[in-house]
Structure 1
């Protein structure tokens, strides 16, 4: 569980609602259905138009990383690589075949299978780099969905504000109808800016950092597997991979 994300969400609500209360405002003044419909609906519509369906599905599947990110496996991964290296030195590369069959991580399993098949170091690196870059690009594209929505949201809020002002201008002769239009105008702007800066853009940046962490882990495995293929001793491999630790 990412405690900073939880604190951030709570602090965002406290800051907005607390500031509104200190200024003498009421929570009800910030609740406006038409404004929410314009901003949320318009932002989602823009995201749907620009995003392929598989990318959008992936963005939803990794959204949980904000609060429950994948754990940092670098140190554990170094231990695994050292065990693989030791096995390869004792039993040969074919000894890794049984380990590959039991390996739950698809990237590591593929690398171990390539080692067991006697793949040359250059070919091994090339094949695994394709996997690494493909997954990183896919997850980065998913994270950028939220970044793009963070760019659209304030503009959609301005559209809502203009629509509210149009409503106001059309009812200048009837003061009783002015309040609703003015409320939509100002609240839509708040919704657009707040949604972008307190949720969408922070979410995008957090997801990008998690994606880079996962890519760093796979890059570490790649270096370890390549080193095993080149016949390096376990101690040298361990010292090399420790450079990936924070």
Structure 2
């Protein structure tokens, strides 16, 4: 929604200012110039990227027109999922978590938090490292290193569409100049026309430069910035899970482990201490209602 609002503001500011200054919008409507700039940009996009990059870019486009899912509610659910898992491990033992991580879509813990269950990457991250914890063959330092590598890989993959849009934005002013030069060539080839007609041809040529710069800095470059911002939010959620899981591995109680994860989050989306504490207490009540014999049997 904000993307559309931003585009409307850019358009009204530029074209509205042109009209206020006495210009005629019809003079700016040059489909051929748009064809040259857009076609050259599309061709360069295909020639300069792999199928993998093009698919990633295509998949990222719809997310540009959606609000960020990384809000306080999602992070709160993420912390509560981790708390519930850590509590079950603490009360019933590490082995009893296997059913939850092998089939998370059937797990009572994950089913309580549909936002997290719907996020494949978050569920996979949690379950993969819990499997390593169950195996007991890796210490916290080794798992931390592996987490860092995975998060870095995730970040690099997310940067692919960012770079595609950024490079396209960098190229569009140049393609605008190409379109303008082609217009000038056409004008020079029509030098025998009356001055009034030559003036129109020159104006049409200059529109190419205008469109290239406007499309670059007014439309494409902001999309690259938005994708980068969304990528940082995604990476931050993985860092939150990493810190909480490592805190649990190092022996901290579940409530303290999720507090470690909470501290990693950006202040604008971070749940408050009291807010998380109240939710944790409610979760404690749920677990307190379970028969204590189950925990003893698991031990």
Which whole-Å CA distance do the structure 2 matches of 1:135 and 1:36 have between them? 36
Q: Tell me the alpha carbon deviations over residues 1-37 of structure 1, each in whole angstroms, 9 at most, x when there is no partner.
A: xx43232122112112211221222332221111001
Q: Which residue of 2 aligns with 1:113?
A: 131
Q: Tell me the alpha carbon deviations over residues 42-83 of structure 1, each in whole angstroms, 9 at most, x when there is no partner.
A: 122222222222012101111222221441132321222111
Instruction: Mark the runs of 5 or more structure 1 residues left unpaired by the alignment.
Output: none
Q: Which residue of 1 aligns with 2:235?
A: 215
Which whole-Å CA distance do the structure 2 matches of 1:117 and 1:28 have between them? 70
Which whole-Å CA distance do the structure 2 matches of 1:225 and 1:98 have between them? 18
Matches within 5 A, 1:1-246: 3-72=1-70, 73-100=74-101, 101-102=103-104, 104=117, 105-118=123-136, 119-175=138-194, 178=198, 181-245=201-265, 246=267
Q: Tell me the alpha carbon deviations over residues 68-103 of structure 1, each in whole angstroms, 9 at most, x when there is no partner.
A: 144113232122211111111111222222221215
Provide the secondary structure at the position in 2 that maps to 1:62.
helix
- Asked if 1 retains the 8 angstrom alpha-carbon contact of 2:165 and 2:221, the reply is yes
**TM-score in terms of structure 1 length:** 0.91
Provide the secondary structure at the position in 1 that maps to 2:252.
coil
Instruction: Mark the runs of 5 or more structure 2 residues left unpaired by the alignment.
Output: 105-109, 111-116, 118-122, 268-299
- Asked if 1 retains the 8 angstrom alpha-carbon contact of 2:247 and 2:260, the reply is no
Provide closer, same or farther for how the CA distance between residues 140 and 152 of structure 1 changes in structure 2, counting only shifts above 3 A. same
Structure exhibiting the larger radius of gyration computed from Cα positions: 2
Deviation at residue 179 of structure 1 after TM alignment: 5.2
Question: RMSD of the TM alignment (CA)?
Answer: 1.9
Deviation at residue 129 of structure 1 after TM alignment: 2.4
- What count of residue pairs does the alignment treat as equivalent? 244
- Asked if 1 retains the 8 angstrom alpha-carbon contact of 2:245 and 2:257, the reply is no
- Asked if 1 retains the 8 angstrom alpha-carbon contact of 2:53 and 2:160, the reply is yes
Deviation at residue 114 of structure 1 after TM alignment: 2.2
Deviation at residue 152 of structure 1 after TM alignment: 0.2
Which whole-Å CA distance do the structure 2 matches of 1:225 and 1:60 have between them? 33
- Asked if 2 retains the 8 angstrom alpha-carbon contact of 1:74 and 1:244, the reply is no
- Asked if 2 retains the 8 angstrom alpha-carbon contact of 1:34 and 1:184, the reply is no
**TM-score in terms of structure 2 length:** 0.76
